[in-house]
């Protein structure tokens, strides 16, 4: 945890048969506990951002030669938006029987 709703997530990333450490900057976007008989599914959301160089994983096709700009960039920036849904609230499950 780096703050109330921010964190860093560390782990390995394997691409093209090469594994390197990766750190994502993430944030907790909030949660919802559900409402019985209306919308009983609890939810929680997260965002994460990271970047890596393709060449660090042996993927060099199209990377511009030194001194040129013709080709495909080496740096890849990416974002992950995720929402997780939990089981229905116990009161809703009992009411639906």
CA-CA-CA-CA dihedral for 88, 6, 49, 51, to nearest 10: -140
Please list the pLDDT of the chain residue by residue as tens digits (97 residues): 999 999 999 999 999 999 999 999 999 999 998 888 888 899 999 999 999 999 999 999 999 988 998 999 999 999 999 999 988 877 544 455 5
Is 75 inside a domain boundary?
Answer: yes
- Alpha-carbon distance 73 to 59, whole Å? 11
Q: Output the domain CATH number for residue 35.
A: 2.40.128.110
In a domain, 94, yes or no: no
Domain that holds residue 12: 6-87
The whole-number pLDDT of residue 92 equals 46
pTM here is 0.77
Residue 70 lies in a domain: yes
Enumerate residues 6+ apart whose C-beta is below 8 A from 33: 42, 89
Q: How many domains does the chain have?
A: 1
Q: What is the pLDDT at residue 76?
A: 96
């Amino acid at each position: 945890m780096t703050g109330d709703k921010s964190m860093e997530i560390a782990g390995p990333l394997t691409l093209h048969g090469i594994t390197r450490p990766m750190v994502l900057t993430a944030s907790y976007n909030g949660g919802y506990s559900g409402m019985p008989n209306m919308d009983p599914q609890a939810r929680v959301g997260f965002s994460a951002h990271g970047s890596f160089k393709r060449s660090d994983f042996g993927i060099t096709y199209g990377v511009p030669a030194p001194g040129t700009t013709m080709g495909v960039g080496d740096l890849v920036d990416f974002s992950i938006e995720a929402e997780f849904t939990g089981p229905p609230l116990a009161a809703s499950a009992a009411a639906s029987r």
